[in-house]
């Protein structure tokens, strides 16, 4: 299964594409979509939309994952990040992909083992997990980390689904799980 990870940003949006075979992960591609720092917002969002659409068309992922927006100290920065994220999500859902969302702490926990890891630690672990010859750039590493987080999360969701209460003859009664 091919998984696309997106690290949204108005100036630079990172993307990472991995393939999951059982418990093995294989690097396919990564990079950035740059809009620069100048110009009106709508044309810059169009660049993100077109760039993500091109990545999807090129690598044909089965699903995608994107970083969830966190509230920044600067409300204007948060709004701009949200707009970039919206453009990326629009490209993904326009291609009929399921889109999962993860917080930065969830990604760091999945990749490094600590939700408080720094960018350099994420870069190093992404390179190790995917057996890369060198460190990817920080935006691409974050996007690959998001894809890795989703690959691991898919395993957990499958396990939870297999243990679903209804499959075990259980149901909820007054907020408690009881046998049928």
Tell me which residues are annotated as active site: 7, 67, 139
Residue 128's contacts (CB-CB under 8 Å, 6 or more residues apart) are none
Name the token pair of 159: 């396990």
In whole angstroms, give the CA distance from residue 170 to residue 176: 10
If we measure between CA atoms, which residue out of 102, 78, 77, 94 comes closest to residue 7? 102
CB 51 within 8 A of CB 9: no
CB 85 within 8 A of CB 66: yes
In whole angstroms, give the CA distance from residue 100 to residue 146: 10
If we measure between CA atoms, which residue out of 127, 110, 92 comes closest to residue 8? 92
């Amino acid at each position: 299964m091919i998984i696309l990870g997106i690290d949204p940003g108005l100036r630079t949006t990172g993307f990472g594409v991995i393939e999951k075979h059982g418990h093995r992960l294989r690097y396919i591609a990564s990079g950035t979509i740059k809009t620069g720092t100048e110009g009106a917002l709508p044309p810059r969002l169009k660049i993100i939309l077109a760039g993500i659409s091109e990545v999807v068309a090129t690598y044909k992922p089965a699903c995608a994952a994107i970083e969830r927006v966190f509230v920044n100290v600067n409300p204007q920065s948060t709004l701009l990040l949200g707009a970039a994220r919206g453009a990326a999500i629009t490209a993904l859902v326009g291609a009929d992909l399921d889109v999962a969302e993860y917080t930065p702490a969830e990604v760091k926990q999945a990749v490094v083992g600590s939700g408080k890891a720094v960018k350099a630690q994420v870069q190093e672990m992404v390179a190790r997990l995917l057996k890369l010859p060198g460190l990817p750039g920080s935006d691409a590493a974050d996007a690959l980390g998001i894809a890795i987080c989703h690959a691991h999360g898919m395993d957990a969701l499958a396990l939870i689904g297999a243990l679903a209460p209804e499959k075990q003859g259980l149901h909820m009664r007054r907020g408690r799980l009881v046998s049928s």
